[in-house]
Amino acid sequence: MTARARNTTAITFVLAFSGSVVSIMQTLLVPLLPDIPSLLKVSAGDASWLITATLLASSVATPSLTRLADMFGKRRMMLIGLFIMILGSALGAVGQSLVLLIIARIMQGFAMALIPIGISIMRDELPKEKLPSAVALVSGTLGIGAAVGLPLSGVVYSNFGWHAVFWFSAGIGICAVIGIMIFVPESEVRTGGTFDFVGAILLSISLVCLLLAITKGSVWGWSSPRTVASFLISVVVFSIWIPMEIRKKEALVDLATFRHKTVLFTNVASLLIGFSMYANMLTTTQLLQIPRFSGYGFGVAVTAAGLALLPAGLSMVAFAPVSARITASFGSRRTLLVGSLVLSFGYLARIFFLHKEWQIIVGAIFVSAGTAIAYAAMPTLIMRSVPITETSAANGVNTVLRTIGTATASATIATLLSTKMLHINGVDLPRLASFQQVYVLAAIAALVAAGTTFLIPKEEPLESSYGQ
């Protein structure tokens, strides 16, 4: 047995841990948001940029870093992404102003590219029989990282202050760097060519404007000049980018692969699942924290509400091997179908069973289980349909579409929960019916995702460079 084969377990563990680090970055400051305005003497709207900045940075960085990974080395780009994240964490730990913290959060957003790059490394370094379970595990870390990140950052903040939250993120980033340097080899698979700087700039402008409009539309107003202008700029720049990329021999994104029905409909499903999944994260803790005098809330503290998501996060890891078995027996397309249906069932149940704390926690577990199964199938479907030299870039685009889905969910949920609010004891609270409307929309999104699986053609054999 070669050293390469002996280390496949270590490679999988390190890449899964790196995926958890990435997902923690997305929710790192959520428990701090209510206190940020008083800590930094800023408005609540300005404080929200600490979440938006990371979202925008990840959408911009992911297509470029994944393309560079295919060209110059996947391990190398993972380390670069982590180093930027660690530097950003250190900046946040010593920063005292909102501007410095926003810059820090932008740098932390570069880490999102680690997940599609890590999955691509698995395709190069793992034998075919181990690939589905390993990919499922890394996909599951999106949930475990977020579920652990919420309560953990809350505990760190409560006991050591907000600067310690950034030191904590720097520490886990350093652990990921050490693990990658020791256990993860550099792949010899390269796509070659030159980097498409113009394409990267245009795509970045389009994505930033789109996500700005989606995430800030409810604050600016959906018909405000800023929102409308952001949407229009995104559409115009994207319409320029597409024909330019089609003509280029060495484009940032090989749009020819999107003509493949498997890639096209898997990406559509990814956007829908991203929308559906994020509703679970945003509403579960909020529903638990609603005061009891509302008539339906439970008055749970912030940290305890975050801990309530932990079983849901752990279920994503627990269902990773289940997803792998379904894939091995019936194929990735059926796995995506099963995950989407479980996800929709979980939300349909949550519409009616939300009157006790245990019902909310169990409902979140069902939703997370479906998410884990669906997410695990997507990278495998993508990898079956793209050349091995373009694995990172193709999975990177898939990740960006998930991000757009989650951003759309965030904006939609904020709008639904803020309309027709209850005014009780001098406090404005969302209505219970608004939460139920969110679950209806999330269930519909998951059902449409399930429908797209019937448009995905018969699967092709999964190509791997392991042993070559």
Within a domain: 219? yes
Residue 462 lies in a domain: no
How many domains does the structure of the chain reveal? 2
Predicted local confidence at residue 1, as pLDDT: 38
- Confidence label for 129 from pLDDT (cuts 50, 70 and 90): confident
* Domain presence at residue 45: yes
Q: Are residues 146 and 274 in the same domain?
A: yes
The answer on 128 and 259 residing in a single domain is: yes
Lowest pLDDT segment from 72-76, 206-210, 413-417: 413-417
- Supply the pLDDT for residue 5: 44
pLDDT at position 3 over 50: no
Both 118 and 181 in one domain: the answer is: yes
Determine which of 21-25, 117-121, 207-211, 320-324 has the lowest per-residue pLDDT on average.
320-324
45-87: pLDDT as tens digits: 788 888 888 888 888 888 899 889 888 889 999 999 999 999 9
d(CA 163, CA 276): 33
Q: Are residues 355 and 402 in the same domain?
A: yes
- Highest mean pLDDT (candidates 43-57, 207-221, 271-285, 347-361): 347-361
Q: Encode pLDDT of 177-199 as tens digits.
A: 999 999 999 887 777 778 888 98
Is 460 within the bounds of a domain? no
What percent of the chain clears pLDDT 70, i.e. is strictly above it? 95
**Residue 2 pLDDT greater than 60, yes or no:** no
Domain for residue 467, yes or no? no
Q: Quick one: what percent of the chain has pLDDT higher than 90? A: 34
Domain co-membership, 88 together with 231: no
User: What band does 307 get if pLDDT is binned at 50, 70 and 90?
Assistant: confident
The verdict on residue 174 lying in a domain is yes
Does residue 464 form part of some domain?
no
Query: For the segment 210-268, what is each residue's pLDDT rounded down to a tens digit?
Result: 988 988 887 888 899 999 999 999 999 999 999 998 888 878 877 777 778 888 899 99
Residue 393 above 70 pLDDT?
Answer: yes
Average pLDDT on 311-331 reads 83
User: Is the pLDDT confidence value at 33 over 80?
Assistant: no
pLDDT for 360: 93
Q: Please return the burial class of 155, using the count of CB atoms within 10 Å of its CB with bins 0-12, 13-18 and 19+.
A: middle
Predicted confidence at residue 462, as pLDDT, reads 54
Is residue 338 packed enough to be buried (19+ CB in 10 Å), middle (13-18) or exposed (0-12)? buried
Residues 122 and 223 in one domain: no
Based on the domain organization, do 229 and 151 belong to the same domain?
Answer: no
Confidence of residue 143 (pLDDT cuts 50, 70, 90): low
Tell me what pLDDT residue 460 has: 59
Q: Computed over its alpha carbons, how large is the radius of gyration of the chain? A: 21
Tell me, yes or no, if the pTM score tops 0.75.
yes
Domain end position, chosen among 226, 251, 276: 251
Mark whether 133 and 98 lie in a shared domain: yes
Asked if 311 and 238 sit in the same domain, the reply is: no
* Residue 375 to residue 397: CA distance in whole angstroms: 14
Q: Is residue 384 pLDDT above 60, yes or no?
A: yes
For residues 357 and 30, which has the higher predicted lDDT (pLDDT)?
Answer: 357
Task: Indicate whether 466 belongs to any domain.
Answer: no
Angle at 385 between CA 262 and CA 370, to 5 degrees: 55
Which of 3-7, 149-153, 360-364 comes out lowest in average pLDDT? 3-7
Residues 332 and 203 in one domain: no
361: CATH: 1.20.1250.20
296, 369: one domain: yes
Higher pLDDT, 385 or 168: 168
Mean pLDDT of 294-301: 85
Tens-digit pLDDT profile for residues 214-228: 888 878 888 999 999
Band the pLDDT of 147: cuts 50, 70, 90: low
Chain-wide mean pLDDT for the chain? Answer: 85
Q: Out of 6-15, 27-36, 359-368, 435-444, which region has the weakest mean confidence (pLDDT)?
A: 27-36
The pLDDT-based confidence of 146 (bands split at 50, 70, 90) is low
Tell me the residue range of the domain where 211 lies: 196-251
Q: Are residues 289 and 268 in the same domain?
A: yes
pLDDT, average across residues 348-365: 92
